[in-house]
Amino acid sequence: MCNLELVTRHHSAGSSAPRHPPCPGAGVQKHPVPRQNTPQRRVAVRGARNRVPGAPGVALAPLSGQPGLGGPGEAPPARRREGGKRRPRGRPPPLPAPGRPPSDNAPGPRAAARGISSELSRRLTRDRVRRKRKPGSGAAAGAVSLLKGSALLLLGCLLARCCGAAGGGPRRGGARWAAGARRGALERFHERQLRVSPHVLGHSKAHVGRVVAELVRAAKAQGLQPGPLALSLRGDFVRIGSAYEQHKVRSPDCFDILVPLRLPPHLEPQPRCAPGLGPRGAFVCGLRARDGWSRRCRPFAEGFCVELQGRSHLSSGLVLRWFQGHLQRCLGAVRYRLQERCRISLSACPGHPPTLHILPCSDYVCCHISMAVRLIPAIPLGDALYLTALPPQSPPGPPAPEALWGLNASRQEQRLLGWLKEQAPASSCHLKCLQILKGLRDLRGQGLEEPFCSQWGRVLSSYVLKTALFSVLLQGPLEAWDERFLVERLEDLVLYLRDCLRKQVLMDFFLGNTSIPEAVALPRFLKEATPVNLLAAFDGPTLDLVAFQLISTWIQAPHIIRMYSNPRYLRPVPTPCRHIAEAKQEPLAE
């Protein structure tokens, strides 16, 4: 007879009596005798399993139902074997021991600060447990202990902050956070200080167009009267500049207008480059008579031409002086007709085009902005190209002949910008990049001293910045100029300018450039012209210093923007338009 009953009885009673061997043929497998499963043992085992190393008396809640964390019924994670074998799928990598850093990373200041915080928490918990065990202790001891713990916790927080400020370790996503902060600063700078209100700009352009049209019409009518001079206005005007190219910054108070002139019917302009006579890119304008140079051309030649290299050339200085006087004579009649709309005046400086000042009346124009319009006389050459008078050299150099002219290709620039707008994404940021770069240039100029401040503005002129933008735009895919990549494209533009300044070479975009898209039609003589370096007039040390300041400005852009974001540097908010208020009050049409 088998002793199965005795074995079962001993197991159920939990006794430590020796195990009886089973009867032969019973089919019972050998297994170790289970230990006593008393309530005291279960509590002790659970406490030992969940206790934090080095923290007696503090136990954690058992982790159950979470894979890979030692829950009940789950085998411990398998370690990676030597020899390059992979860990079996479905099992996470082994976790490091709690409270210890990974073996391949040394603990840094942040880890030390976290350790101090955990140690303070452990001590507070231990004091709380001790107070529970000693109900007779007074409230004063508990308050003192709590005060000590709070002081230690505050010290740990200060230590963690100091370690973070001293570069204790890179934060997660630190580079991404810095890029986001830079983009936010640039976006706010563009929105608050650079972006011009489309409503105000539209009203200003419309008012300027009406006033200039009245003045040109009156000047054309007076020029048709018989007189000794056969130079007159053609009767139209051309809007140029940033205000009409959608990259104007700050307030809409300055405009540039080309006023084409008409030569006598029997004369035709013949432009050609003038190397050695002035700055690179200067032209001289010869005149050719259709039926031969006769006595009837002498009055015009004596009034507007000068001798240069044995030939008669059209003088830009004489044409400019005649243009100023002609507009001044016509201003009286125009001022009388426009007295209900605005008050206008004309100012002229020697060697510069005249400037028309417009002060709108409060009961006519909703946006009360005083505007200045620079009226530039121009000799038309065909294909929307014009010759304009060169500005005086700055700093003053040897006097240039009055026969020199500059080539104006503003209409080609507007065509190129229109073509780029069609080819680029709808949310392209190339014009915003140009506005931000001009704004940073102006802000940096406020902190520079003379004479470098003037050189900084002349080297990084608006035309130079626009030329650099055209060059960078045609180098890569236009899809990369999406609004999302504003900071990256701005940085590319700054680095391209830095390289040009170091090499002291930035070629004019339209003179002698054969890589212009076919959509922008250029005349033959413009493509075959000698390339012009826009930085040839500046010496090497000046360009190197400008390059250094440009990179410094880009790196410190958020700091410079904050420095000059004081309300006194911000433009005033324009007066609300009365037309908008009237439109809101009008009932909707049924």
Q: Which one has a higher pLDDT value, 558 or 126?
A: 558
Question: How far is 469 from 443, CA to CA, in rounded Å?
Answer: 20
* Token output for 321: 């002086």
Beta strands in 383-520 (DSSP E): 385-389, 404-408
pLDDT for residue 377 is more than 90: yes
Q: Which one has a higher pLDDT value, 116 or 429?
A: 429
Highest average pLDDT, of 63-72, 164-173, 368-377, 544-553, comes from 544-553
Helix (H, G, I), strand (E, B) or coil at 41: helix
pLDDT for residue 356 is more than 90: yes
Output the 3-class SS for 109-144: HHHHHHHHHHHHHHHHHHHHHHHHHCCCCCHHHHHH
Question: How far is 587 from 104, CA to CA, in rounded Å?
Answer: 74
Q: Which helix (H) or strand (E) holds 229?
A: none
Work out whether strand 267-273 and strand 282-289 pair parallel, antiparallel, or are unpaired: antiparallel
Long-range pairs for 272-278: beta carbons < 8 A, 24 or more residues apart: 273/529, 273/530, 274/403, 274/404, 275/530, 277/308, 277/400, 277/401, 277/404, 278/390, 278/400, 278/401, 278/404
> Alpha carbon 308 to chain centroid distance?
48
Question: How far is 461 from 472, CA to CA, in rounded Å?
Answer: 17
Q: Give one DSSP letter per residue of 340-375, joined into a string.
A: TTEEEEEE--TTS--EEEEEE-TTT-SS---EEEEE
| pLDDT score at 544 | 95
| pLDDT score at 287 | 84
Question: How far is 183 from 189, CA to CA, in rounded Å?
Answer: 10
pLDDT tens across 32-68, in order? 444 555 555 554 545 544 444 444 444 434 433 444 4
- Binned at pLDDT 50, 70 and 90, residue 71 comes out as very low
Q: Which helix (H) or strand (E) holds 59?
A: none
Asked whether 512 and 527 are in contact (CB, 8 A), the reply is: yes
Tabulate helix, strand, coil % of the chain (nearest 5).
45, 15, 40
Q: Once rounded to an integer, what is the mean pLDDT over residues 392-411?
A: 73
Work out whether strand 342-347 and strand 355-360 pair parallel, antiparallel, or are unpaired: antiparallel
Question: How far is 392 from 59, CA to CA, in rounded Å?
Answer: 86
pLDDT for residue 111 is more than 90: no
Asked whether 189 and 487 are in contact (CB, 8 A), the reply is: no
DSSP letter at 78 equals P
* Token output for 247: 């990259």
Neighbours of 435 (CB within 10 A): 22
Share of the chain above pLDDT 90, in %: 31
pLDDT for residue 261 is more than 90: yes
pLDDT for residue 436 is more than 90: yes
Phi, psi angles (nearest 5°) of residue 487: -65, -40
Question: How far is 80 from 45, CA to CA, in rounded Å?
Answer: 29
Lowest-confidence region among 121-135, 166-180, 510-524, 528-542: 166-180
Long-range pairs for 127-136: beta carbons < 8 A, 24 or more residues apart: 129/57, 129/58
| Interior angle at CA 503, CA 499 and CA 505, nearest 5 | 100
Asked whether 578 and 366 are in contact (CB, 8 A), the reply is: yes
Asked whether 77 and 94 are in contact (CB, 8 A), the reply is: yes
Give the dihedral sign, CA 417/423/428/433: negative
| pLDDT score at 323 | 93
Q: Is this structure's pTM higher than 0.75?
A: no
pLDDT for residue 425 is more than 50: yes
